[in-house]
Amino acid sequence: MKTELTETQKKILDFLIEQIKGKGIPPTLADIANYFGYSNRATVQQHLKAIEKKGYIRKSPKLSRAIELTLEDKFFVPKPVLGEVAAGNPLTIYPDAIDTVELPTIARMPKDSFLLRVKGDSLKDAYIFGGDIVIVNPNLEPKNGQIVVAILDDAAVVKRFYKKKNEIELVSENPDYKTIAIDKKYPSFKIVGIVVGVYRSMNKKAG
């Protein structure tokens, strides 16, 4: 039985899965160190050793790319993508799935949560890019600074949420986009949910 991974270990395992699935070969220690900003490979080796001990990978200490996923066929499960959400101008959330995406089984999906594909670059400074898949939890109350999915009339946007007295602002993470102030222009405004996760595939569709 596998032991639960730490958050850092999950991110590294997710990266390993994406590299192996997307490129057909595992990353080197240097690749992993560069991606996560580690200054030396010893840190990477420590994390890989822990991930291996918990049963998720097998590796050879003599080869830089000798990393093998265990139970590889169980690492991904198909999940429906319910629509596109705009990091920019509003887009439509469709009532039925428009696509499916294979998420790693380690990706956390809270109860009642759903997936949307981001289109646009207004959240680029929050490291959310066009083509990314966001995991949206509809059961949380929004707090200032959280990234939310909101409905403006019949379209949806993904922005940072701020409530100031009687005014709500939806703020981008890109200076090229203006803040959206919620007023009488948006009588049907509502918060659909809070973004609780982001999944980026090496083979994602550009947004």
pLDDT tens readout for residues 127-169: 888 888 888 888 889 999 999 998 887 678 889 999 987 789 9
Q: Which of 59, 159, 172, 204 is catalytic?
A: 159
The domain in which residue 135 lies consists of 76-199
Mark whether 119 and 37 lie in a shared domain.
no
Q: Which of 59, 122, 172, 204 is catalytic?
A: 122
Say whether 159 is catalytic: yes
Residue 95 falls inside a structural domain: yes
Q: Return d(Cα 26, Cα 67) in angstroms, integer.
A: 6
Contact assessment for residue 134 and residue 148, using Cβ atoms and an 8 Å cutoff: no
* DSSP state letter for 146: -
Query: Does the structure show a pLDDT above 70 at 26?
Result: yes
Mark whether 130 and 60 lie in a shared domain.
no
Given 73, 91, 112, which residue is the final one in a domain? 73
Query: Does the structure show a pLDDT above 60 at 106?
Result: no
Mark whether 124 and 188 lie in a shared domain.
yes
Neighbours of 144 (CB within 10 A): 10
Q: Residue 11: give its domain's CATH number.
A: 1.10.10.10
The angle, 0 to 180 degrees and rounded to 10, between the axes of the packed helices 7-23 and 29-36 is: 120
Residue 114 falls inside a structural domain: yes
Residue 60 falls inside a structural domain: yes
Given 73, 92, 115, which residue is the final one in a domain? 73
Residue 206 falls inside a structural domain: no
Residue 1 falls inside a structural domain: no
Given 26, 41, 73, which residue is the final one in a domain? 73
Residue 98 falls inside a structural domain: yes
Count of the separate structural domains present in the chain:
2
Q: Return d(Cα 17, Cα 156) in angstroms, integer.
A: 31
Mean pLDDT of the chain: 78
Name the pTM for this structure.
0.57
| Largest separation between any pair of C-alpha atoms in the chain | 65
Q: What is the pLDDT of residues 65-96, one digit of tens each?
A: 678 777 555 555 566 676 677 665 554 554 55
Query: Does the structure show a pLDDT above 70 at 196?
Result: yes
Mark whether 53 and 137 lie in a shared domain.
no
Helices (H), the chain: 7-23, 29-36, 41-53
Mark whether 62 and 130 lie in a shared domain.
no
Mark whether 159 and 171 lie in a shared domain.
yes
Say whether 172 is catalytic: no
Q: Residue 186: give its domain's CATH number.
A: 2.10.109.10
Q: Return d(Cα 111, Cα 186) in angstroms, integer.
A: 29
Residue 42 falls inside a structural domain: yes
